[in-house]
C-alpha cells in the first residue's frame, strides 16, 4: 500500500525526460508530491534546473520549482515509492535492467509507454514483470497529448492494474482539477489499445495530407477501431476496453490532432517525404512506426486480417504508392472491417 500521507512521506520518480515524462512529473510536483525527473542527458538536466524549462521537448513550458531534475539514476530512485517509466520502447528493457537493483520488491511501477517490443511482442508492463523484483504494476493510457497536459487543458487518462491499491495510489498522485484519472482492471487491453492506435494515427495523418473528405475520415477511424479490436481480442484482451477512454477515446484524438507525433509522421509521408525525412521532421520518437511493422508481422503469423496495418506497412517499408494502397484497402471486401463481432 501507499503508506501515510503521500504528500509528505513518499517520493515519486519519473524515468524519461521526453515531453510526456516531463509533463506528468511537473504535474506531480504541482500536486505537492516530492518528485524527481530522471533523464539521460546530464547537460539537459542541468539546463532544466537552471532555466526551469525542458526546452528540448516542451519549449515555453515552465517547470514547477519543486520538481527535481537529475541524470543521476541512483539518486533519482532513492526511497522512491512509485516509479513511472516514460522510456521509448526500444530502450525500455535496457533501462529496466539498469534499475532492477535499485527498485525494491513491492514498489509500484507504472508504464506510460505506448509501444511493443519487436523481438518478443511484449508490452512494457510484461517487461517490467520480467526484469524487476516482484513489482506492483500499472499502466497509464488515454488521450493524453503531452502539450495539452502541460497547458492544463481538461483531459483524462486510465490507470490499469489488477491491483486496486495501485490504481488508487496513481489516482492520488496524478489527479488534478483538469487531469482526471479513471481505473480499469484490464491492464493488457488498455496497454495494447494505446500501442495499436498509433498505427492508425499515421494512416489518418496521411489521409489528412491528401485532403480526403470527412466521410472518408469517418470510415477510416471506424475501420481502425474494428481492426485493432479484432486483433486485440484474438490476443486475449477484453474488446469492451476498446470502447472506452483508452480505446476509441485515444484513437480519436491521435487520428485528429497534429499534436500527435504519429499523425505528423503520416502527414509528412502523405506529402511525399520519405520515412526517414518524416521521422527527422518530427524530431521525437513516434512509436507507431515500429508498431506497424511489429503488428503486421504478428497478424500474418496469427492469420488475422488487418488491411489497414498491412497497407500502411507497404507504404512505409516497401515503397508502395499511397494512392494505390489506399484504393486497394478501401475496395477490399471484409465483413468485419467496419464493426467488431464478439462471437468471432
Q: Which of 8, 62, 197, 296 is catalytic?
A: 197
259 closest CA partner among 220, 286, 234: 286
Assigned architecture for domain 6-185:
3-Layer(aba) Sandwich (3.40)
Quick one: pLDDT at residue 94?
97
pLDDT in tens, 59-117: 999 999 999 999 999 999 999 999 999 999 999 999 999 999 999 998 999 999 999 99
Quick one: pLDDT at residue 326?
72
DSSP symbol at 246:
I
Q: Where do you find CATH 1.10.1040.10 in the chain?
A: 196-331
Quick one: pLDDT at residue 187?
96
Quick one: pLDDT at residue 91?
95
In DSSP notation, 255-296 reads HH-TTSHHHHHHHHHHTT--HHHHHHHH-S--THHHHHHHHH
Quick one: pLDDT at residue 342?
54
Quick one: pLDDT at residue 8?
43
Point out the residues of the chain with pLDDT beneath 50. Answer: 1-8, 344
Segment holding 181, helix H or strand E = strand 179-184
306 closest CA partner among 226, 218, 190, 214: 226
Q: Where do you find CATH 3.40.50.720 in the chain?
A: 6-185
Quick one: pLDDT at residue 323?
75
Quick one: pLDDT at residue 66?
97
Cell of 343: 462471437
Quick one: pLDDT at residue 294?
96
- State which fold the 196-331 domain adopts: 1.10.1040
Residue 197 appears among annotated catalytic residues = yes
Amino acid at each position: 500500500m501507499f503508506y501515510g500521507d503521500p504528500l509528505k512521506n513518499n517520493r515519486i520518480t519519473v524515468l524519461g525526460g521526453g515531453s510526456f515524462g516531463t509533463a506528468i512529473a511537473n504535474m506531480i510536483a504541482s500536486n505537492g508530491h516530492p518528485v524527481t525527473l530522471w533523464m539521460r542527458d546530464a547537460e539537459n538536466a542541468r539546463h532544466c534546473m537552471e532555466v526551469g524549462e525542458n526546452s528540448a521537448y516542451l519549449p515555453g513550458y515552465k517547470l514547477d520549482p519543486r520538481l527535481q531534475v537529475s541524470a543521476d539514476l541512483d539518486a533519482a530512485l532513492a526511497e522512491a515509492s512509485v516509479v513511472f517509466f516514460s522510456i521509448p520502447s526500444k530502450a525500455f528493457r535496457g533501462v529496466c535492467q539498469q534499475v532492477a537493483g535499485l527498485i525494491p520488491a513491492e514498489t509500484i511501477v507504472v508504464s506510460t509507454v505506448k509501444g511493443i517490443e519487436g523481438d518478443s511482442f511484449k508490452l512494457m508492463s510484461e517487461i517490467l514483470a520480467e526484469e524487476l523484483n516482484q513489482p506492483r504494476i500499472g499502466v497509464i493510457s488515454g488521450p493524453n497529448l503531452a502539450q495539452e497536459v502541460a497547458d492544463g487543458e481538461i483531459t483524462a487518462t486510465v490507470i490499469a492494474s489488477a491491483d486496486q491499491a495501485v490504481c488508487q495510489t496513481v489516482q492520488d498522485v496524478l489527479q488534478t482539477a483538469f487531469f482526471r484519472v479513471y481505473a480499469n482492471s484490464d491492464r493488457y487491453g488498455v496497454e495494447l489499445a494505446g500501442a495499436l492506435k498509433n498505427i492508425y494515427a499515421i494512416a489518418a495523418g496521411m489521409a489528412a495530407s491528401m485532403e480526403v473528405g470527412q466521410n472518408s475520415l469517418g470510415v477510416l477511424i471506424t475501420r481502425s477501431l474494428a481492426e485493432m479490436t479484432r486483433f486485440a481480442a484474438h490476443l486475449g484482451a477484453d474488446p469492451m476496453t476498446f470502447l472506452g477512454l483508452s480505446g476509441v477515446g485515444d484513437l480519436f484524438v491521435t487520428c485528429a490532432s497534429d499534436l500527435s507525433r504519429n499523425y505528423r509522421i503520416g502527414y509528412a509521408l502523405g506529402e511525399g517525404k520519405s520515412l526517414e525525412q518524416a521521422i527527422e521532421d518530427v524530431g521525437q520518437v513516434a512509436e507507431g512506426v515500429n508498431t506497424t511493422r511489429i503488428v503486421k508481422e504478428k497478424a500474418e503469423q496469427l492469420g488475422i486480417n488487418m488491411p489497414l496495418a498491412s497497407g500502411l506497412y507497404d507504404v512505409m517499408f516497401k515503397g508502395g504508392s499511397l494512392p494505390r494502397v489506399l484504393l486497394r484497402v478501401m475496395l477490399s471486401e471484409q465483413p468485419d472491417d467496419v464493426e467488431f463481432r464478439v462471437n468471432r
